Structure 1
């Protein structure tokens, strides 16, 4: 309930309503439409209060901090996921190499005669579409 969360955060319930309208804190909703604050929401309310009162950050700045912190959390989770996928891929490559023994790699194509082809390389200009 909003009154309990307000008491736990040391704020007036109207302040919580304002923060909800601004999107600083987004509590869950009860079937009747009432706000339901989690322990995480209360901790966030305390952090909003600390940033506002102790550090002098305005509410727009606090909202930006919250958004950026959420982005950092999301990116850290994504990095952990990608690292796990990379580790699994390396493990699978090692398994395949162990099974293949001395078999030739499929990405290498043997040639019987040396090539006389000439390759001209030109750097792409800025703004030029890639092929």
Structure 2
């Protein structure tokens, strides 16, 4: 989150620096050596840079408000993380109470694992017939 705020501020700073250099070109009178084509694009560039300056000025309060909100959000998240971390480490350090079950138990016979072969199948008798 901090990196986004830093990146936005760097971009805004670069825009302001570029606007200042273009402003010097805009204030200069039309150079007779330049063609109409070059003057046309220079004029458009000046208008775009002036519009960008206006956008930057209009966006400043919103950017500051977003930055403050991001700081508040980051600090609350860090605080909640610390609380949770301390709660988990405190829970791990306290010994757990062992529970003993005093209920009566029954012995249940287990079923055989493999069924036995019946005697009739083990010793087949020949049938008369």
Q: If each structure's helix is expressed as a fraction of its own residues, which one has the higher value? A: 2
In terms of Rg, which structure is larger? 2
User: TM-score, structure 2 length as denominator?
Assistant: 0.35
**TM-score where L is the length of structure 1:** 0.35
